[in-house]
A and B are shown apart, each in its own frame.
Chain A
Amino acid sequence: MTDHDTLETRLTRSLDQQATGLHDAPFGLDDVRGRARGIQRRRRALVAGATAAVVLAVAIPLGLAAGGRDDPRGVDPAPSPVLGRATVLHDGELTRPDGSTLPVPYDDVDEVATLGDGRTVLMLQRRAVVLDATGAEQASYPVAVNLLTAGREDRTVAWVGEGNRVQVLEAGRPEPVTLAAVPESELGLSMVEVVNGDECAPDSCRVTVGDGNAITYDVYPDEVVPTELDLPFTSIDDVNARGDLWTVALPTRDGEQHPCVATYHAVDQAVVAQTCATSGLRFSPDEQHLLGMRGDNSMYGELTVLDADLRPVLTWAPEGDLAISSAAWSDDTHLDVAVVDPDTSEWSLVRVALDGGSEVLEGPAPGGNPEAGPDYVFAD
Chain B
Amino acid sequence: MHTTQRAGPETGGMSRSQARDAEFTAYLAARQPSLLRTAYLLTGDRHQAEDVLQTALAKLYLSWDKVRDRAAVDGYARRILVNETTSLWRRPWKRREHATDRVPEGAPHHDAYDDGTGDALWQVVQTLPRRARAVVVLRYYEQLTEAETAEVLGITVGTVKSQTSRALATLRERTPAELDPREEER
Interface residues of A (CB under 8 A from B): 3-4, 6-8, 10-29, 31-33, 35-36, 38-40, 110, 125-126, 144-146, 186-189, 212-213, 254-258, 295-299, 301, 321, 323, 342, 369, 371-373
Contact = CB atoms under 8 A, between A and B. Distances in A.
B73 interface: no
B172 A10 contact: no
A296 B141 contact: no
B58 A257 contact: no
Contacts of A16: 141
Given A7-B172, A371-B83, A14 B122 contact: yes
B87 to A, nearest CB: 6
Given A14-B125, A21-B109, A187-B169, 17 more contacts: A10-B181, A11-B140, A12-B141, A14-B121, A16-B141, A17-B114, A18-B40, A18-B118, A19-B41, A31-B54, A32-B24, A39-B55, A187-B165, A189-B161, A299-B87, A321-B90, A373-B154
A10 B141 contact: no
17 contacts: A6-B181, A10-B117, A10-B118, A10-B181, A14-B121, A15-B122, A17-B114, A18-B41, A20-B110, A28-B28, A29-B24, A110-B156, A187-B165, A212-B162, A295-B89, A297-B86, A299-B87
A144 B159 CA distance: 11
A255 B100 contact: yes
Contact of B58 (A6, A14, A19, A32): A32
Interface band, chain B: 35 or more
Contact of A146 (B55, B125, B140, B158): B158
B182 interface: yes
B1 interface: no
B153 to A, nearest CB: 7
Contacts of B131: 296-297
Nearest to B101: A255
A14 B122 CA distance: 6
A223 B145 CA distance: 35
Contacts of A301: 89-90, 95
